[in-house]
Homo-oligomer: A and B are copies of this chain.
Amino acid sequence: MHIVLVQVVVRHELLEEFARALLVNAQQSMAHDAGCVRFDVGQEPDDPTRWVLYEVYESPDDHRRHRESPHFRAYDEVAARAVTEKRVTTYVGRQITGPSPEG
């Protein structure tokens, strides 16, 4: 399994637009992207401009294909305006919890 961890800081004035675009992207990725096992989203309680995206794919290729999807591109257009800092780390999954949506 291939983990993609994205930590971002978002412009305060674009928070609502960013949240909407990100949550649609997360839901669409889980619904439609082959090999997308998990797409969780979190927001720091003490600083609502700080978000995390926790994505798990069956392979790095599945992540590459996700980035070609229309829902990723729609999100990325908003993120290009809204995100001021971004840190991406990838990991090999050593334990991934529970069933994948594909069983």
Instruction: Summarize A's interface: helix, strand, loop or mixed.
Output: strand
List A residues 41-58 near B (Cβ within 8 Å). Answer: 41-45, 50-52, 54, 56
Number of copies: 2
Chain B residues near A92 (CB, 8 Å)?
A: 42-45
A41 to chain B, nearest CB (A): 4
Checking B27, B45, B91 against A42 with a beta-carbon cut-off of 8 angstroms, the contacting residue is B91
10 A-B residue pairs with Cβ-Cβ distance under 8 Å, sorted by A, are A3-B40, A19-B94, A38-B97, A39-B97, A42-B93, A43-B92, A44-B92, A97-B101, A98-B98, A99-B99
- 10 more A-B residue pairs beyond the given contacts A3-B52, A23-B94, A40-B96, with a C-beta to C-beta distance below 8 A: A26-B97, A37-B97, A38-B98, A40-B56, A43-B91, A45-B90, A45-B91, A54-B54, A98-B98, A99-B99
